[in-house]
Structure 1
Amino acid sequence: MPSGRVHNLINIAMYTGLAAGALYLTQQRSVVITPAQGLYFSLGYGVGTFLLSPDLDLAEGNVDSKRRWGPLGFLWVPYGVLFSHRGLSHTWILGPITRLLYLGLMVALLWGLVNALLPHQFTLPLLGPPRLDYQLLATKLGYPLLIGYYLSQWLHLMADGVRPDHGLKHSRRKMRGAARHFR
C-alpha cells in the first residue's frame, strides 16, 4: 500500500492533469467552468487530499492528515478508534460521508464548548434569516466542492486497491457468517 506521501503525489499529479484539461476545454469553449466552480472543486479536492484522508482511521498513529490539523489533530483519535482501518471508512460512498459527519460533530462540540466557557464572546448579531439562493449554492458551488472531495477520496482508495464494492462484499460476508451462526 502506498505511503501518505505517495497518496498525496498521486492526487497532486491527477489534479494537475485535471486542471490542465479543464483549462484547455474552457479555452476551446467546449466546457464552461466558472472561476467559483474551479475554486470550490479545488477546495474540496485539497481538503479531501490533505485534511480528510481515508487514513484518518489510523489517527492513533502518525498519519499525515492528522498532523496537518496541528494542535487539533487529537480530535481525530476517536475517529480512528470508531472505524477500523480499511473498514467502513474505506468504502467509496459512506467512507467520505463518515469523515464529513465526524468533522461536523467535532465543530459543533467545539463551538458548544467555546460558547459554554465564553458565552458572550462569540455570539453573532441577529441579522434575520439569510437570503441565499440555495439552488445556486448547490448546483454552482456545492456540486464542484463534493465532486472534488469525492474524487480525491476515490483516488486514494484506488491506490490502496479498494474496489467500489468493498463495503458490499464485507457486509455480505458478515451477514452470511451471522446466518450460519443462527442455523
Structure 2
Amino acid sequence: MPSGRVHEAINLTVLGGGAVVYLAYGGSPEDPQGLAFTLAYLAGTFLLSPDLDLAEKGTRSQRRWGLLGLFWRPYGWLFRHRGLSHTWVLGPLTRLGYLAALLGGLFLLAQGVAAHLGMPFTLRLPPWPPEVWGSALLGYYLSQWLHLVADGIWPDHDLKRLRRPR
C-alpha cells in the first residue's frame, strides 16, 4: 500500500492536471465553484484522509491537525483500518459526520461560555448557492476516491466480498 506521501503526490498530480484542463476550457481561478472544489479537495487530501482511521499515535493524517489531532484518536478506535472508513460512499461520510460532531460540540461549548458571560453568540453558514456546496462535496469525494484507488479498493470491493462463498 502507498505511503501517505505517495497518496498526496497522486492527489496533487490529479488536481494539477484537472486545473490545467479546467483553465484550458475557460475556467476562472476566481470562480466560486472551482475554488470550493479545490479547497475541499485539498482538505480531503491533507486533513480528512481515509487514514485517520489509524488509531496509532502520530500518524501523518493526525499530525496535520497539530494538537487537535488528539480529537481524531476516537475515530481511529471506532473504525478499523481499511474497514467501513475505506468504503466509497460511507467512508468519506463518516469523516464528515465525525468532523460535524466535533464542530457541533465546540459550538455548543462556545455558546454556553458566551451565554455565561452574557454575550450573544451565533453562527451562520455562508449563503453560497447549492452549486458551490455541490462542487465542494465533489472535490472532497474525489480526493477520497483517489486514495481508495491507490489502496487497491475499487467501488465493487465490498460487493465481491459479499458474493464470495464462505
TM class, shorter-chain normalised? 0.7 to 0.9
Residue 4 of structure 1 pairs with residue 4 of structure 2: yes
Q: Does the CA contact (< 8 Å) of 2:50 and 2:85 recur in 1? A: yes
Q: Who is 2:141 aligned against? A: 150
| Shift of residue 173, structure 1, vs aligned partner | 6.9
| Superposition map of 1:105-144 within 5 A | 105-119=101-115, 120=117, 123-124=120-121, 132=127, 137-139=129-131, 141-144=132-135
| Superposition map of 1:161-176 within 5 A | 161-170=152-161, 172=162
Which of 42, 48, 70 matches 2:44? 48
Distance 1:122 1:78, change over 3 A: farther
Q: Does the CA contact (< 8 Å) of 2:114 and 2:121 recur in 1? A: no
SS class of match (2:57)? coil
Give structure 2 stretches of 5+ with no counterpart: none
Q: Render the CA deviation track for 1:10-31: whole Å, top value 9, x for unaligned.
A: 111111000001111117xxxx
Residue 86 of structure 1 pairs with residue 82 of structure 2: yes
Distance 1:13 1:125, change over 3 A: closer
Equivalent pairs counted in the alignment come to 165
Q: Who is 1:103 aligned against? A: 99
SS class of match (2:76)? helix
Distance in 2 between residues matched to 1:97 and 1:55, nearest whole Å: 14
| Shift of residue 70, structure 1, vs aligned partner | 1.1
SS class of match (1:26)? coil
Q: Does the CA contact (< 8 Å) of 1:7 and 1:156 recur in 2? A: yes
Letter of the 2:11 counterpart? N
Which of 70, 77, 99 matches 2:73? 77
Give structure 1 stretches of 5+ with no counterpart: 178-183
Root-mean-square deviation (Å): 2.8
Q: Who is 1:180 aligned against? A: none
| Shift of residue 122, structure 1, vs aligned partner | 6.3
Identity %: 50
| Shift of residue 62, structure 1, vs aligned partner | 2.4
Q: Render the CA deviation track for 1:140-173: whole Å, top value 9, x for unaligned.
A: x011101110110000000000111223445x37
Distance in 2 between residues matched to 1:40 and 1:130, nearest whole Å: 14
Distance in 2 between residues matched to 1:62 and 1:147, nearest whole Å: 29
Question: Once superposed, which parts of structure 1, at least 4 consecutive aligned residues long, lie more than 4 Å away?
Answer: 129-132
